[in-house]
Structure 1
């Protein structure tokens, strides 16, 4: 496979006459100013991985019966595969400079790209609301501890939340909206210093405090349950699969971030530090903290906030609670806001910018009443889980198209052209080959992920989704394989050097 030549899209053109206004705006155009260096990508992953949910996931594997070293090894293998996926998608994002929904136009068509964009947006909006609500719950607990007089206002019910609950939810919603409304550069600065590093301080403090209390009598080889070797192997492999499935959302839209990186090295090294290294160490700290909690409190505690609350020091409780609230906001911004902001803007670029798409996402996150979603396991496991199973086939289609069908040759001008003769117009703006690959792969992946009879293999449903979608797309695209071209030509309104391709024949 030929390696695509490195190019940049440093200049953001004014709207050229050949571009369709309903496909183009400044936020969807190739990135102009690129300021995301290695540390910013590293901090992005700290913001994403230092979540209470990831702590609970790692601690839960230990409680289920794996030893500390088995949990660490399983998560290291899983996150290393995730790291490879991020680098593959990051290459396309950095090289073209366009966000995920625009990159998806290459394989799905200039209008068909709204299909993967909306799938990603629906998942993100639902979880954006849920994460905002979870942060507000922690804020309510903190507020009542600091001001006990508020307790009576936590027992009434107004559309599912108490008075204090609504105030906390509204405050968390507003704080995030202020950050997000200032654009990607502000998001970068906030995540660089206000999320991941703070959580590490608290996690190291908790692990150290518990180790001292336990007289350092914590084993990395003991199991809490008597799982057989076969059961331990299955749990370990399942942990690998679930780790990859969890990060499938960000693999899909990683171009949203890689497009702003200063070089290929910046996102690759940032990914290396933030994923295999940082995630694995965080998982190890989570397991050690859980083991320490068992030694000190006599029970497994998989919620770090609860451990903080048991330390008899009000300052530790306040600082710890605020830190984990901040961490929840951090993962929410990275994983659940940026993508729908771009995805919704892609629906109507003439009217919707990144900020307007983000505002719509934030409003929808309230209207879905996330506290009701989260309290309904049917909705969480089947609706949100089912949508997540659809992401793996989308990732496969984008990567197979970029690396094996196009071989990295993308004409940026054509991504914003609605002419029937356009390279990515296909049939009425939709590539039927992408749909023929996506639908069966999504059905199979969704059935394996959601039907109880397949629960044993559900952690690996994404594997079959990737294989089916990738193979079908590659074979069906044989008739539109691009001819070899010079590695670089002037494109994007003659303002940047970028690879291109000859226009494929309609499928």
Structure 2
């Protein structure tokens, strides 16, 4: 089942529509789609000498190429999972090339020195707090990816071994490894003179490292293709989320294309940049959704595979658990950044959902 169907049986049909479209996928994934589309276009813009700007300061060629990229990236998700797989066959070797280059940077600069690096604008008193904030964002985004992962994971062969291998090796291990390599890239670029506040931008990182002017320029083309591969999955998840809202399956291709196009236009206009704090904060609100889905399956349904055709419109205990879990994570991330708020939010949401389900005699 896809993410929406799982949520529908846990939060109710109306509750799932609200959460999936506003918090998990739907609008959020197409907003990220716009940001990543701009990054993909920026990779080519760096090679051609266009102004990649930021927050609405793109020049006309970059704007046009961003829109074109957004439309092209939406085609494989419209065609289906097989088309996405074909793109990945090309993107994965390029990702390996970037990883090798990142490892080279880490070994050359010294891994210990990279891990101990502190930006000049940071004091020793704030390092721990900022590290915990960054850790929460990373863990939260991994949870977000895992939550919408059902949209593609449902195509895995239905055996425990295949699912476990895909989860541990294909998702979590890869995510941790790639975050480490990304750290090598970012710190090396900052040491080379990049503004630390821009180190999240892979294109500017590669540009600072001299990739655009040297023999490694194909890595920027590879960065465009990697964004292609990433955003295909966002569009693939966002399309069904919008489709169930209008209750017309035949509109899925058009809604997918519309979401991709609107996300790209919003990125070009610069509006999406004001959404970034909201989109980042969503990591605190998505983790309780994941916790409640897991609690529902493992504790309440006790891993039963049969699914009732009758679905509640709203399940109060699920929504209450989600709200208090998300609100707790939000408060902790805002005022006490010495924990991992997304994990604590998961625990609170799971407990409230389980207690509510027990009181309502669901198990």
TM class by shorter chain equals: 0.7 to 0.9
State which drifts further: 364-373 or 125-134.
364-373
Is 1:456 matched up with 2:337? yes
2:170 to 274, 282, 290: 274
Q: Is the 8 A contact 1:406 1:481 kept in 2?
A: no
Q: Distance in 1 between matches of 2:193 and 2:102?
A: 16
Give the 3-state SS of the residue equivalent to 1:112 in structure 2.
helix
Q: Is the 8 A contact 1:135 1:325 kept in 2?
A: yes
Alpha-carbon RMSD across the aligned residues, in angstroms, is: 3.5
Deviation at residue 442 of structure 1 after TM alignment: 2.8
Q: Is the 8 A contact 1:405 1:481 kept in 2?
A: no
Q: Distance in 1 between matches of 2:144 and 2:211?
A: 39
1:223 to 112, 116, 129: 116
2:17 to 91, 114, 119: 114
Q: Is the 8 A contact 1:125 1:365 kept in 2?
A: yes
Q: Is the 8 A contact 1:245 1:462 kept in 2?
A: yes
1:250 alignment partner in structure 2: 145
2:328 alignment partner in structure 1: 444
State which drifts further: 397-406 or 105-114.
105-114
Q: Distance in 2 between matches of 1:176 and 1:123?
A: 17
Aligned ranges 1:187-206 → 2 under 5 Å: 187-191=84-88, 193-205=89-101
Q: For the structure 1 residues 456 and 407, does the alpha-carbon distance in structure 2 shift closer, same or farther, using more than 3 Å as the test?
A: same
1:182 to 60, 79, 95: 79
Q: Distance in 1 between matches of 2:300 and 2:176?
A: 34
Give the 3-state SS of the residue equivalent to 1:260 in structure 2.
coil
Is 1:135 matched up with 2:40? yes
Which of the pair is proportionally richer in helix?
2
Q: Is the 8 A contact 2:211 2:220 kept in 1?
A: no
Q: Is the 8 A contact 1:343 1:357 kept in 2?
A: no
Is 1:126 matched up with 2:31? yes
1:323 alignment partner in structure 2: 222
State which drifts further: 170-179 or 310-319.
310-319
Q: Distance in 2 between matches of 1:339 and 1:113?
A: 14
Q: Is the 8 A contact 1:155 1:162 kept in 2?
A: yes
Q: Distance in 2 between matches of 1:313 and 1:133?
A: 17
Aligned ranges 1:43-442 → 2 under 5 Å: 98-119=1-22, 120=24, 121-144=26-49, 161-191=58-88, 193-205=89-101, 207-208=103-104, 216=108, 218=110, 220=112, 223-225=116-118, 238-262=133-157, 263-289=159-185, 297=192, 302=199, 305-306=203-204, 308-309=206-207, 310-311=209-210, 314=213, 316-334=215-233, 336-369=234-267, 371-376=269-274, 379-381=275-277, 383-412=278-307, 414=309, 422=310, 424-425=311-312, 429-442=313-326
Give the 3-state SS of the residue equivalent to 2:299 in structure 1.
helix
Q: Is the 8 A contact 1:104 1:398 kept in 2?
A: yes
Deviation at residue 304 of structure 1 after TM alignment: 5.3
Deviations 1:99-146, CA, capped at 9 Å, x for gaps: 1101112111233321221122221111111111121122222223xx
Q: For the structure 1 residues 412 and 348, does the alpha-carbon distance in structure 2 shift closer, same or farther, using more than 3 Å as the test?
A: farther
Q: Distance in 1 between matches of 2:211 and 2:287?
A: 45
Q: Distance in 2 between matches of 1:392 and 1:195?
A: 29
Q: Distance in 2 between matches of 1:353 and 1:274?
A: 32
Deviations 1:132-182, CA, capped at 9 Å, x for gaps: 1121122222223xxxxxx6xx699xx864320222112211220222221
Deviations 1:314-337, CA, capped at 9 Å, x for gaps: 563430110111112222222x22
Q: Which runs of 5+ in 2 are unaligned?
A: none
Q: For the structure 1 residues 475 and 339, does the alpha-carbon distance in structure 2 shift closer, same or farther, using more than 3 Å as the test?
A: same
Deviation at residue 375 of structure 1 after TM alignment: 4.1
Q: Is the 8 A contact 2:71 2:261 kept in 1?
A: no
Aligned ranges 1:17-28 → 2 under 5 Å: none
Q: For the structure 1 residues 196 and 161, does the alpha-carbon distance in structure 2 shift closer, same or farther, using more than 3 Å as the test?
A: same
Deviation at residue 268 of structure 1 after TM alignment: 1.7
Q: Is the 8 A contact 1:126 1:370 kept in 2?
A: no
Larger radius of gyration: 1
Q: For the structure 1 residues 176 and 398, does the alpha-carbon distance in structure 2 shift closer, same or farther, using more than 3 Å as the test?
A: same
Give the 3-state SS of the residue equivalent to 2:155 in structure 1.
coil
1:475 to 343, 355, 361: 355
Deviation at residue 219 of structure 1 after TM alignment: 5.1
> What count of residue pairs does the alignment treat as equivalent?
352
Q: Distance in 2 between matches of 1:258 and 1:400?
A: 19
Q: Distance in 1 between matches of 2:193 and 2:259?
A: 43
Deviation at residue 408 of structure 1 after TM alignment: 2.1
Deviation at residue 265 of structure 1 after TM alignment: 1.9
Q: Distance in 2 between matches of 1:178 and 1:269?
A: 29
Deviation at residue 237 of structure 1 after TM alignment: 5.0
